Structure 1
Amino acid sequence: MTSAQFTVFAVEGIPEIVPGDDLIQLIGDLVALEDGDILAITSKIVSKAEGRFAAFADREEAITSETVRVVATRAYPGGVTRIVENRFGMVMAAAGVDASNVPDGLVLLLPTDPDASARRIALALRERFRVSIGVIITDTFGRPWREGQTDVAIGAAGLRVLDDLRGTRDADGRELSVTIAATADEVAGAVDLVKGKSRGLPLAIVRGLGHLVGEMDEPGATALVRPRENDMFSLGTEEAWAEGFEAGRRAKD
């Protein structure tokens, strides 16, 4: 049964994470988890524990190394913004390479495998607390057609990341034919309201959404990535124009 209410609260006490820290132990010592909880973890602390640093001078090279496809580029007075697809299919600015909340002279890359990281954390904490919980790893994304940024799930384990409502009926009895709720992203956005970007609170617990928590064989956050063949806007304007121009030129040859 879907809960009519839930609570979200940040967890205080996470120290500055450095490469090699036992993040699972640190989290486990700070939280008291209940059955059905969802633990939301900012990707930065996962990346820091994994040592995913690069020199700031190598930022552009780091972006390139994390990129499998350039979706769009746009020049601005300070340089060029690259919207790219990474090896997990996620499309984002600068491949998620970030210079905020990291030591001077460094940038931080996304976790090596966010779903695998979420799975390790979920399995260990399920065993420690003897409860069924879900874990999401969150990161900040911009969104097509919308101003501002919000957090989304880039890694997940032990919960239903999509809620397929097709075939069910709305409040007026009409059958839903296309609705698939991005539940993991909805949770990530709600959690960001209590974690924030500058308060040093990278960890939060969502309580009251136990109906979303499932077995450990639930698909991870990669299930949220729209396949390229279904993406109507898979390129930026200039890139799409150039690709079409080149296709037309080849057709004439």
Structure 2
Amino acid sequence: MSLSVSLTAIPGIPDIRNGDDLAAIIGDRLDAADLGLRHGDVLCVAQKIFSKAEGCIIPLDTVTPSEEALRYAEELNKDPRKVEVVLRESTRVVRSFRRPDQNEGTMICEHRLGFISANAAVDESNFGEESAVMVLPPDPDASCAALREALKARFGAEIGVVMTDTFGRPWRLGQVNVAIGLSKVPATIREQGNTDAWGRPLQVTEPALADEIAAASGLVVRKDGKTPAVLLRGLDWTPAESRGADILRKKQEDMFR
């Protein structure tokens, strides 16, 4: 069991552009910081740099709003082109609202990947382009796997990779990093059938390991710090075949649907 875990924001990662080799860039910065990679390390990488490298930036002048987008835009005082991108990224709109004190309303959507989030995770901040929006990579798990394999080949270490994004939480203020893509890191750890410190059987305990790792990475990342990758070292974990979708609650268990 781990009694000590270190979190290190990897310094010096440059602004990422379409087509950049993330494994080469991150690997070079790990070497420059004399960090390298060891067996059991976990690398947490922000979704934004995957999206930049994979060209997931949509210029708004290429977007033609649908009638549905125009309707939501009028209700929420939003740019109809942005709304159109949100709708394209979504399987359904769970709820939309605009409070009297808000200039612009919010759409709570089920993303095509299954996550429930504000505006289907469509973003327009922290990527250095005007009149454009950023969407999630088409396959976050595949992106994580490709990065892990390239870094494994370079450093000879069995590691895990977590792609993170920032989500709000129902009934709680603020935002935290969560896992939206995984390679080898278990989504959860099933404790059912084990016992607690007093010998009582655990029946429902299932720590959300991937989300705990993602949230911890946020402690050393700053929005203005350009530190989109964090090295987590010292964690006791067992590699497993995993997907970001493994952490989603089954629809038949959703009491609020």
| Short-chain TM bin | 0.7 to 0.9
Distance 1:127 1:159 in 2: 18
Give the aligned partner of residue 71 of structure 2.
none
Q: Match for 2:57 among 33, 53, 57?
A: 53
Amino acid at match of 1:166: Q
Tell me if 1:230 matches 2:253. yes
Tell me if 1:98 matches 2:123. yes
CA-to-partner distance for each residue in 1:135-180, whole Å, 9 max, x for gaps? 0000000011111100000001012121000111111111110011
Instruction: Report the CA distance shift for 1:12/1:200 in structure 2 as closer, same or farther (over 3 A).
Output: same
Distance 2:238 2:111 in 1: 27
Percent identity of paired positions between Structure 1 and Structure 2: 42
Q: Secondary structure at the match of 2:105?
A: strand
Q: Secondary structure at the match of 1:223?
A: helix
Amino acid at match of 2:51: S
Give the aligned partner of residue 104 of structure 2.
79
Distance 2:144 2:238 in 1: 14
TM-score by length of 1: 0.88
Q: How does 1:1-253 map to 2 (within 5 A)?
A: 2-31=1-30, 32-56=36-60, 58-76=81-99, 77-102=102-127, 103-209=129-235, 211-215=236-240, 218-234=241-257
Distance 1:232 1:196 in 2: 35
CA-to-partner distance for each residue in 1:105-136, whole Å, 9 max, x for gaps? 22111111111101111111112211110000
Give the aligned partner of residue 74 of structure 2.
none
> CA offset at residue 213 of structure 1?
4.2
Larger CA deviation: 57-66 vs 128-137: 57-66
Distance 2:141 2:121 in 1: 16
Q: Which runs of 5+ in 2 are unaligned?
A: 31-35, 61-78
Distance 1:159 1:10 in 2: 19
> CA offset at residue 55 of structure 1?
2.5
CA contact (8 A) 1:133 1:213 kept: no
TM-score by length of 2: 0.86
Give the aligned partner of residue 246 of structure 1.
none
CA contact (8 A) 1:17 1:45 kept: yes
Larger CA deviation: 89-98 vs 79-88: 79-88
CA-to-partner distance for each residue in 1:48-67, whole Å, 9 max, x for gaps? 00111113463111101100
Distance 1:158 1:129 in 2: 17
Amino acid at match of 2:195: R
Structure 1 runs of 4+ with >6 Å offset: none
Distance 2:131 2:112 in 1: 25
> CA offset at residue 78 of structure 1?
2.3
Count of residues in correspondence between the two structures: 230
Larger CA deviation: 141-150 vs 78-87: 78-87
Q: Secondary structure at the match of 2:98?
A: strand
> CA offset at residue 233 of structure 1?
1.6
CA contact (8 A) 1:134 1:213 kept: no
CA contact (8 A) 1:99 1:108 kept: yes
CA contact (8 A) 1:166 1:176 kept: yes
